[in-house]
Amino acid sequence: MANGSGVHVSNETHEHADELVGRRRTGHVLVITMQRAGKRNAVDRSLADALDGALNELEDDDELWAGVLTGTADVFSAGSDLTARGDYLTERGGEYGIIRRDRRKPLVAAVEGPALGGGLEIVLACDLVVASSTARFGLPEVRIGVVPTCAGLFRAPRALPLNLARQLILTGRPIDAHRCYEAGFVNVVTDPGAALEGAIALAQEICDNAPLSVQACLRAINQVTADGDDLGWNATGEALAAASRSADAREGVAAFLEKRAPVWSGR
């Protein structure tokens, strides 16, 4: 989940960025790894800038034809770091460095463990998904009185059957990799610990093809599927405004940070 405003260009050192996001080349594939394990790869200002830098490299280097985005061994991403207070927009990628990025090169998500809230919205911003049997996908925002704001409200219904997307959004409860595979959202399910290997293999299979043809095809697909994005962002803004004014939103976030059950008032 996100609630960002404004664009911030960080002055952090490249060394610090490398601590937060690993970059590894294998052939024409760039493997990008979120490494904020102590915070379950929750995205703050620094991680957003590091992701933005890595994805800029993927887009700008003509020797790179595809990318893989992954997390740590136990978690893909828990979404927004609430203590960041929405400060994770980037100049080229929007939220988290990826959500509003205009990409021309395929990006495969490799998911181990939970991809929740903004974590799932990051996966939804990728083109293909390889998940281990440990993966779980969810949009738990309603459980703390807020709403998904990084395109989950319109990308989830595109990527999943409508009623399954409604289930994720309205119950806040995650579903597993096999259910997502059956629904056509996950391309490949692997054994635990093998999602990255499977994602690299899928990316390399893409790289067996003519890169400019692949990029032209991806751009055409994205132009068609993004046709309703303006409507989606407007609807998301309206949902955010309605929820953020409520007493329940304040109570939900406070209860989450205080690690207690929320007491809803319906106001």
Domains and CATH numbers, the chain: 14-193+211-257 (3.90.226.10)
pTM here is: 0.92
Give the single-character DSSP code of 246: S
Residue showing tokens 């989940």: 1
- Say how many residues make up the chain: 267
Distances from the Cα of 40 to the Cαs of 76, 123, 209, 212, in angstroms? 8, 15, 35, 36
> Taking the CB of residue 190, how many other CB atoms lie within 10 A of it?
23
Q: Among all residues, which ones are annotated catalytic?
A: 121, 141
Each residue's pLDDT expressed in tens, for the chain with a length of 267 residues: 443 333 333 334 344 667 999 999 999 999 999 999 999 999 999 999 999 999 999 999 999 999 999 999 999 999 998 777 778 999 999 999 999 999 999 999 999 999 999 999 999 999 999 999 999 999 999 999 999 999 999 999 999 999 999 999 999 999 999 999 999 999 999 999 999 999 999 999 999 999 999 999 999 999 999 888 999 999 999 999 999 889 998 998 888 888 899 999 998
Residue-by-residue DSSP string for 160-179: S-HHHHHHHHHH---EEHHH
Task: Retrieve residue 255's tokens.
Answer: 């209860």
DSSP 74: S
Amino acid letter at 98? I
Rounded to whole angstroms, the Cα distance separating 248 from 144 reads 8
CB 116 within 8 A of CB 136: yes
Q: How far apart are CA 7 and CA 256, in angstroms?
A: 27
* Three-state SS at 147: coil
Phi, psi of 90 (to 5 degrees): -125, 160
What's the confidence (pLDDT) of residue 244?
A: 87
